[in-house]
Amino acid sequence: MSAKKNAADGSRAAVDSSISTEGLDPKRRRLLVGGMSAVGGLGAGALGVSMLASMSPSARAKAAGAPVEADISKLAPGQLLTVEWRGKPVWIVRRTEQALASLNSVADQLSDPDSVEEQQPAYAQNATRAVKDEYLVVIGICTHLGCSPTYRPELAAPDLGSDWEGGFFCPCHGSKFDMAGRVYSGVPAPTNLEIPPYMYMDDNRILIGEDQGAAA
């Protein structure tokens, strides 16, 4: 037993001596202390990175609906801009005068021309489904089975008919929507495209996901 105890004590002494700087020559002591300081510095650096990461918006917070800003300053008439909000595509279309005029001419072909179904905020329950007539802000997901329609602004498209006035077409099952995102009658989609909450920050910027100063 005494021999085993002495051996164990010797092992502990060897370990202790490996982490102690006493009795070491100055060069070895500086090397050991410098190494320990470097390890401590790495730990502090990792902690700093962790703290910075925790201060950034998490992917979960963004997915939950953090507002998204869209710059429309370079959007020309007829063009469409896509931004992502809550993991969904949101389309911003700058409508032409012709596109706005078509909203009345196709009304009798639509399932819900007056936007009676609550697919939009109250401030977008109007003829253009918009805060400003020129700009349509709409979620680009078909209300049938969740496909993403295509933007088809051209008139009388051969595959959509001579009476086509421009709008959105879902190639998955053939649903059609006009330039206000209102659904045509007799197609699989049951309701108009959804209008998200949004507000104008100024003439060139739209904040999607927030309106009237309150987060949606």
Distance CA 91, CA 19 (A): 64
Most confident of 45-59, 160-174, 199-213: 160-174
pLDDT score at 61:
52
Tell me what pLDDT residue 146 has: 87
* C-beta of residue 179 within 8 angstroms of C-beta of residue 103: yes
**Most confident stretch, 15-24, 97-106, 204-213:** 97-106
Q: Report the length, in residues, of the chain.
A: 216
Indicate the domain borders of the chain.
2-55, 62-215
pLDDT digits (tens, 9 = 90+) for 24-67: 555 555 555 455 444 444 444 443 434 334 444 545 555 556 89
Say how far apart CA 115 and CA 124 lie, in whole Å. Answer: 9
3-class SS of residue 140? coil
User: For the CA atoms of the chain, what is the radius of gyration?
Assistant: 32
User: Mean pLDDT over residues 68-78, rounded?
Assistant: 97
Q: Which helix (H) or strand (E) holds 91?
A: strand 88-94
Q: In what order do the strands lie in the sheet with 198-202?
A: 68-71, 205-208, 198-202
Q: What is the pLDDT of residues 85-143, one digit of tens each?
A: 999 999 999 999 999 999 999 999 999 999 999 999 999 999 999 999 999 999 999 99
8 Å CB contact between 91 and 138: yes
Which residues belong to the active site?
173
* C-alpha separations of 81 from 32, 144, 155 in Å: 60, 23, 20
Quick check: 214 pLDDT over 90? Answer: no
Tens of pLDDT along 150-163?
A: 999 999 999 999 99
CA 188 to mean position of chain CA atoms: 27
pLDDT for the residue 216 = 46
130's CB contacts (< 8 A; 6+ apart) are 124, 136, 137, 180, 195
Quick one: which of 154, 159, 153, 146 has its CA closest to 193? 146
Q: What is the pLDDT of residue 211?
A: 86
Q: What is the C-alpha to C-alpha distance for residues 86 and 81, in angstroms, rounded to an integer?
A: 16
Do the Cβ atoms of 169 and 160 come closer than 8 Å?
A: yes
pTM for the structure as a whole = 0.70
The answer to which of 8-12, 152-156, 170-174 has the lowest mean pLDDT is 8-12
CATH number for region 62-215: 2.102.10.10
Residue 47 carries which side chain, given as an amino acid letter? Answer: L
> What SS3 state is found at 200?
strand
Residue 184 is classified by DSSP as B
